Amino acid sequence: MTWFTPEVIDSIIAVVKAIVVLLAVVVCGALLSFVERRLLGWWQDRYGPNRVGPFGMFQIAADMLKMFFKEDWNPPFVDRVIFTLAPVVAMSALLIAFSVIPVTQTWVVADLNIGLLFFFAMAGLSVYAVLFAGWSSNNKYALLGSLRASAQTVSYEVFLGLSLMGIVVQVGSFNMGDIVKYQADHLWFIIPQFFGFCTFFIAGVAVTHRHPFDQPEAEQELADGYHIEYAGMKWGMFFVGEYIGIILISALLVTLFFGGWHGPFDILPQLSFMWFALKTAFFIMLFILLRASIPRPRYDQVMDFSWKFCLPLTLINLLVTAAVVLAAQ
């Protein structure tokens, strides 16, 4: 078996790891719909889905079955190619971005030097999902939704990138693994880069179109906005795509600001995956809590907040970080 070289074995292991991450993220994304409904129910003085299986846990299976068997219907007035492409982009863009996240020290699908930049690129691509959906649906509500989405993305991507530049300046690398290692050696970035954390979190919510930045789909105003014409599995892909976005942003927050796979004060280092998962779950909860607790600002107020508050804050943060780093040298 000459072809069974260590390189091949490594590749196979890498592929298996990648598939596991992919499946885990997609399954978690789907499961999140159940988790979110239960949590919302709990906070809102009601039950949420509790009929199917123990604690309603199989609700997700029922939902999936329903969605798979629904007719895959295209309204006659849509632009079919783009209409079909949109949910694919919605689900895949952020899913691919997950490949640069180091789940543990040894478990990362693509250990890119430009890991962070790769994430920015994918986040930038994900807006096309909304744009395509809104444009191709040939529906006024969808169009308004995608207009909002593009304006919001332009505003928030500006400081999405800038908010992390403080970290890059301190570490001197775009590589996720390096960033986590730097935190283990020094201090978690939540403390030196607190403002970076705040703005990145806000921008992250905006990128995933989650409440209160769900302007493109604002149910009360646009009646679901850009995905108003979607049904069945295509709609389901938007849905899962949104949850994948939440998982991705939560994982990024953990990786960039909360020491990745390290526990606090290096407790139980052998449980690295558990630490990562726990911290990520915490931020996912935060996303859901955010949705349960606050009203939605008006669209122009969201823009104002971005340009007049967040952007200056990130710029100051970057300048101060740079000055400190320079002074320390």
Q: Which residues bind other proteins (CB under 8 A)?
A: 40, 43-46, 140-141, 144, 147-148, 211-212, 218-223, 291-301
- State the minimum distance, in angstroms, from the CB of residue 42 to other proteins: 11
- State the minimum distance, in angstroms, from the CB of residue 73 to other proteins: 19
Give whichever of 140 and 186 is closer to other proteins, judged by the CB atom. Answer: 140
- Distance (Å, rounded) from C-alpha 242 to C-alpha 210? 8
- State the minimum distance, in angstroms, from the CB of residue 66 to other proteins: 22
- State the minimum distance, in angstroms, from the CB of residue 69 to other proteins: 26
Give whichever of 141 and 243 is closer to other proteins, judged by the CB atom. Answer: 141
CA angle 201, 127, 26 (to 5 degrees): 75
- State the minimum distance, in angstroms, from the CB of residue 293 to other proteins: 7
Residue 103 CA to its chain's centroid (Å) = 15
Give whichever of 112 and 143 is closer to other proteins, judged by the CB atom. Answer: 143
- Distance (Å, rounded) from C-alpha 254 to C-alpha 183? 11
- State the minimum distance, in angstroms, from the CB of residue 44 to other proteins: 4
The residue among 244, 216, 230 whose CA lies nearest residue 150 is 216
Give whichever of 161 and 212 is closer to other proteins, judged by the CB atom. Answer: 212
Q: What is the CA radius of gyration of the chain?
A: 21
Give whichever of 72 and 219 is closer to other proteins, judged by the CB atom. Answer: 219
Which residues touch 86 (CB under 8 Å, ≥6 apart)?
A: 128, 129, 130, 132, 133, 136, 238
Give whichever of 211 and 227 is closer to other proteins, judged by the CB atom. Answer: 211
Asked whether the beta carbons of 241 and 96 are under 8 A apart, the reply is no
CA angle 320, 315, 194 (to 5 degrees): 65
